[in-house]
Structure formats: C-alpha cells, structure tokens
C-alpha cells in the first residue's frame, strides 16, 4: 500500500475525518440524480405535477455546481501538497495522466453511444462539425457546440479547463503560505466574482439585443456552460479543501452543531428553490450562483464528522450509486433521446420512467466494466514510482483505484 503524503502544515489528518470524507461519495449520487430528474422534467409536466414540484425539479441543474465545488475541494485534499512548493513537469505529468484515466474513457464511450442513438433515431445532424470538439472536450468554449451531442459532457469540458488551472492555483493561491482566514476570504472573493460575472454577462446579453424570452436561452448557451464563468466555484472549493487540510480535517467539531448546520443548510437550499416561484426572472441566478456557498458549507460540515445523514450516506447501495454517479451523469442523455421517441415500452411502461431507471442501472454496470478497468489500465500500478496522492473529484466521480476517497491511490469525485 502506498504511503499517504504528509500534510505540509497543520495537524495531521486522522483516520476519522478521512472516513467521513467518503460520505461525499454518496452525496454525488443525489447531485447526479437531481440532474437526471431535470432532464426528465417533461415527464413531470405531462403527468400534471403541481407547479412547486416542477420548480423543484428545475433546480436539478444546481447539482453541477455541487460537483464543481466538490471537485476543487477533493483535488486540493488529494494533490494540493504536491504543488505547494511549485509546479514541476513530473508532477504535472502524473496529475494529467491520472485525470485523463479518470474522465476520458467513460466520456468517449458515452459520446459514441449518444452519436449512435442520434443517428439511428433520425436526429438533425447539421452540426456534425462539432463532434471533434466534443471528442476533445472543447465544446464548452463554443456556444453552438456545447449541447450538440452528449449534452451533460459540457461540464466535463469545463472541468478540463479547471484541471489546467488547478496546479497553478494550488501553488500560487491555495498553497501552504495562506492562513485559514485568508483562505476563507479568497473563497468568499471567488463567490463574489462568480455572482458579479453572471450579472455582468447577463446584462451584456441583454444589451446585445436578446429579446426578453430569449435571454434564458442565451445564458444557457453562453454563460451557464462557460468555463470562465464557472471556474470560480472550483476555485472556492480549492480554498476550502486547503482550509480543511490545514485545520486537521475537523472544522466543525461538535456533532450537535454539525446536525444543526445540515438542517439549516437544507432549509436554506429549499428557500432558494422556492424563491424562484416568486422571482421568475432570476432562475439562472437561483440555479447555480445562489447554491455555491450552500454547497461549500455542506461539504465542509459533512467532511468534518458524522451527522444524522451518516447512516444513509454509508449504506452500501447508496455508496455504490455514488461511485457510479459519473457514468450516470454521462449516460442519461442517450437514453433521454430514446425516452422522447418511444411513447412506451411494450405498450405498458411509460418510457420516461423506464429510461430514467435504466440510466441508473446502466451506470452501475459501466462503472464496474468500463470505468474501473480503463482507469487501472491507463494509470498502471503506480505513477512515476512515487507515493500515490490522497484522493480526488469530476461531475460525478472519484479518481483512483479504490472506491473510497482515502487511502492508496485515492479516488476522485468531480461534475456532473
């Protein structure tokens, strides 16, 4: 078993907080499930669901924001110490290899599956030229290409940009030279920049003449998937991950306080969701910007120790679904197309619910048969013969050889 690298400063992490970090694996399933239900909103509408439920389903896109914050948090916990003193070519190579092994095999498989489904169902393929961009995970930079093939993969494209930034951000901003207070301040600045960038970008779209009913579509193609607009969630997570390491993994020591904070944060998230029913024009802001500090606080609380949610988050089936959340995130789009073109399955089962359930089942199969084998093959038994990093994250996944976020080889979870 490879040794876990020493924390550069602050108290050493105990085994206990490491175990609680693993509960974040399970939370990833609920974030991916929120995105899945969002994409099946038409099923709720056709079933005559009440407006409050449909509004709640529409908040599912906030799950991507959770993945972005969690990605920065876990990557810093995993790789931060490697880049505290600088960015070497060797460490960059190890980091890039690990990230490629984690995200690309499943991305490529999902893209091929989405392509086959679109071709066989007679979809309009006028934007065929965007396929190479998506294969190379560059589609998030081109509004006309961002949702062309496998829709959820835009967030993996954004993550690729985050990975390019991470070593330098970990070295220059979130490194060991920062005090806990300065890390909190930088995280707050990241949130302010995120909100300001959204508001400024929305106003630019309006100034350019986007009609009132066209603004939501415009921000969905230009602002929402843009790596430049979304990287601040990731940076905030990096700062909190560094703070977590620096404080020895126990930022909220008392169990009663953790439980109270979880209840308060869930209530606040519900308030943000239902506020959209009264403030209809701010749906984009409520969809991800307003959730960023809520998710950041929730990650810190859950990572600090057991809560009343721990029995659920440690339940083996939920842990497995959390491990498979990356596959669930990427595979839902091809099956969603089938749900639109087939009204029922054998004339009995309503197609949307059948395909939504099939997405979950298929994700577990792909996690076992595609993700894990490809990751092991691409990474090999060791990276440069050095001690393996702690662990790491992408919209919906861990990256390592074990299913836990701690230990040798670590795991990674990150968007979407």
The confidence score (pLDDT) of residue 18 equals: 57
The confidence score (pLDDT) of residue 13 equals: 40
pLDDT (tens digit per residue) in 159-213 = 999 999 999 888 888 666 677 788 888 889 999 898 888 878 777 776 666 554 4
Number of domains the chain contains: 1
Mean pLDDT over the full length of the chain? 78
Q: Is the pLDDT of residue 17 over 90?
A: no
| Residue 296 is assigned to a structural domain of this protein | yes
pLDDT (tens digit per residue) in 386-396 = 434 444 444 44
* Contact between residue 5 and residue 82 where contact means Cβ atoms under 8 Å apart: yes
| Residue 208 is assigned to a structural domain of this protein | no
Please give the residue range of the domain that contains residue 22: 15-104+160-201+232-414
Lowest mean pLDDT among 79-83, 249-253, 357-361, 397-401: 397-401
| Residue 269 is assigned to a structural domain of this protein | yes
The confidence score (pLDDT) of residue 387 equals: 38
| Residues listed for the chain | 416
Higher pLDDT, 138 or 383: 138
Arithmetic mean of pLDDT, 48-53: 82
Higher pLDDT, 300 or 416: 300
Residue whose C-alpha is closest to residue 154's, from 337, 329, 399, 33:
329
pTM: 0.83
The confidence score (pLDDT) of residue 234 equals: 94
Higher pLDDT, 82 or 178: 82
| Residue 134 is assigned to a structural domain of this protein | no
| Residue 98 is assigned to a structural domain of this protein | yes
Q: What percent of the chain stands above pLDDT 70? A: 76
Confidence of residue 255 (pLDDT cuts 50, 70, 90): confident
Confidence of residue 343 (pLDDT cuts 50, 70, 90): low
Arithmetic mean of pLDDT, 25-52: 87
Confidence of residue 277 (pLDDT cuts 50, 70, 90): low
The confidence score (pLDDT) of residue 287 equals: 63
Lowest mean pLDDT among 185-189, 235-239, 269-273: 269-273
Confidence of residue 281 (pLDDT cuts 50, 70, 90): very low
Higher pLDDT, 372 or 222: 372
| Residue 187 is assigned to a structural domain of this protein | yes
pLDDT (tens digit per residue) in 111-126 = 999 999 888 877 667 7
Q: Is the pLDDT of residue 73 over 70?
A: yes
Arithmetic mean of pLDDT, 102-110: 93
Q: What percent of the chain stands above pLDDT 90? A: 29
| Residue 113 is assigned to a structural domain of this protein | no
| Residue 252 is assigned to a structural domain of this protein | yes
* Contact between residue 33 and residue 318 where contact means Cβ atoms under 8 Å apart: no
The confidence score (pLDDT) of residue 47 equals: 79
Lowest mean pLDDT among 8-22, 61-75, 76-90: 8-22
pLDDT (tens digit per residue) in 289-307 = 888 899 999 999 998 888 8
Higher pLDDT, 176 or 133: 133
């Amino acid at each position: 078993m490879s040794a876990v690298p020493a924390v550069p400063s602050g108290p050493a992490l105990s085994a206990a907080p490491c175990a609680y970090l693993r509960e974040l694996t399970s939370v990833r399933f609920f974030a991916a499930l929120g995105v899945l239900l969002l994409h099946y909103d038409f099923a709720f509408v056709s079933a005559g669901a009440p407006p409050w439920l449909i509004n709640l389903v529409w908040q599912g896109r906030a799950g991507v924001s959770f993945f972005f914050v969690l990605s920065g948090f876990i990557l810093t916990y995993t790789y931060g110490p490697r880049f505290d003193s600088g960015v070497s070519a060797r460490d960059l190579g190890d980091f890039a290899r690990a990230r490629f092994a984690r995200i690309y095999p499943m991305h490529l498989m999902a893209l091929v599956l989405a392509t086959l489904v679109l071709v066989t169902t007679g979809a309009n393929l006028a934007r065929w030229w965007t396929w190479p961009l998506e294969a190379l995970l560059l589609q998030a930079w081109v509004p006309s290409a961002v949702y062309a093939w496998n829709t959820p993969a835009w967030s993996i494209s954004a993550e690729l940009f985050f990975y390019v930034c991470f070593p330098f951000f970990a070295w220059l901003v979130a490194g060991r030279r920062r005090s806990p207070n300065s890390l909190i301040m930088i995280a707050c600045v990241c949130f302010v920049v995120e909100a300001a960038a959204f508001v400024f970008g929305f106003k630019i779209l309006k100034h350019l003449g986007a009609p009132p009913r066209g603004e939501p579509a415009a921000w969905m193609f230009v602002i929402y998937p843009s790596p430049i607009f979304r990287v601040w969630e990731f940076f905030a997570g990096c700062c909190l991950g560094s703070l977590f390491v620096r404080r020895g993994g126990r930022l909220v020591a008392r169990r009663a306080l953790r439980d109270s904070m979880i209840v308060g944060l869930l209530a606040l998230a519900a308030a943000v969701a239902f506020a959209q029913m009264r403030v209809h024009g701010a749906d984009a802001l409520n969809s991800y910007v307003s959730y960023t500090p809520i998710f950041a606080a929730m990650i810190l609380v859950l990572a600090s120790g057991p809560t009343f949610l721990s029995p659920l988050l440690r339940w083996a089936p939920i842990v497995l679904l959390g491990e498979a959340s990356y596959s669930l995130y990427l595979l839902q789009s091809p099956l969603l197309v089938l749900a639109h073109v087939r009204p029922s399955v054998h004339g009995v089962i309503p197609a949307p619910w059948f395909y939504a359930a099939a997405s979950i089942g298929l994700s577990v199969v792909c996690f076992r048969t595609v993700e894990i084998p490809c990751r092991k093959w691409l990474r090999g038994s060791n990276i440069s013969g050095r001690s393996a990093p702690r662990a790491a994250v992408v919209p919906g996944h861990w990256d390592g050889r074990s299913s836990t976020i701690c230990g040798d080889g670590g795991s990674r979870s990150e968007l979407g």
